[in-house]
């Protein structure tokens, strides 16, 4: 089981690497890694388990964050209507996106970044993601709102990109043009 001890922190070189594609059908080992990513995110949202193991709550985790430079992510998040988006994907890819942008009014956080970094992080408002589930079956998702933001944050990790890279350095809270604010 993944704990905070397994999660590498900002400054670690693996977080800046472009992660490798996972070969499909997936190996047993890669399946176990993928499952463990989702297990962490789910456990971290369970108050009792999180307290017992000292897990920082998260809604997404990418393999590079546990120092595995392979294209795998897990997301476990509810949208504002309460619908659950719980996915663990190999080789997730944004295959199309809206012109319209979106951002979280509260900014973003990351399990690999201990201190809060304030500022708006511009994202696409709507995306279509293609990936493969733990058994290697193709999955295609149309996403908007918070789930769309989380997927973009996690897929960024596979490309060595951190959320704060997108924040305007001179003016972190400068209004983002053509963007829809999202409250968490």
Phi and psi, residue 67, nearest 5°: 65, 30
In the bound state with Zn ion, the residue whose beta carbon lies nearer, of 5 and 170, is 5
Whole-number minimum distance, CB 99 to Zn ion, in Å? 25
Whole-number minimum distance, CB 112 to Zn ion, in Å? 6
Which residues are known to be catalytic? 154
Question: Distance between CA 143 and CA 89 in Å, rounded?
Answer: 15
In the bound state with Zn ion, the residue whose beta carbon lies nearer, of 149 and 182, is 149
In the bound state with Zn ion, the residue whose beta carbon lies nearer, of 26 and 64, is 64
54 torsion bin: left (phi>0), alpha (psi -120 to 50), beta (else):
left
Chain residues that interact with Zn ion, rule: CB under 5 A: 110
Q: 11-35: string of b/e by CB count within 10 Å (b at 16+)?
A: eeebbeeebeebeeebeeebbebbe
Whole-number minimum distance, CB 123 to Zn ion, in Å? 13
Residue nearest Zn ion (C-beta atom): 110
């Amino acid at each position: 089981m993944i704990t905070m001890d397994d999660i590498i922190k900002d400054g670690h070189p693996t977080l800046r690497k472009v992660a490798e594609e996972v070969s499909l059908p997936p190996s047993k080992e890669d399946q176990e890694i993928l499952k463990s990513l989702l297990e962490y995110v789910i456990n971290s949202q369970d108050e009792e388990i999180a307290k017992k193991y000292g897990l920082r709550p998260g809604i997404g985790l990418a393999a590079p964050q546990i120092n595995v430079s392979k294209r795998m992510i897990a997301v476990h998040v509810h949208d504002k209507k309460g619908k659950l988006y719980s996915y663990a994907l190999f080789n997730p890819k944004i295959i199309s996106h809206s012109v319209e942008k979106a951002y979280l009014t509260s900014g973003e956080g990351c399990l690999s970044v201990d201190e809060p970094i304030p500022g708006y992080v511009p994202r696409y408002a709507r995306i279509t993601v293609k990936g493969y589930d733990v058994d290697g079956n193709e999955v295609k998702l149309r996403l908007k709102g918070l789930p769309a933001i989380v997927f973009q944050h996690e897929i960024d990790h596979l490309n060595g990109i951190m959320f704060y890279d997108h924040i305007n350095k001179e003016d972190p809270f400068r209004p983002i043009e053509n963007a829809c604010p999202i409250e968490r």
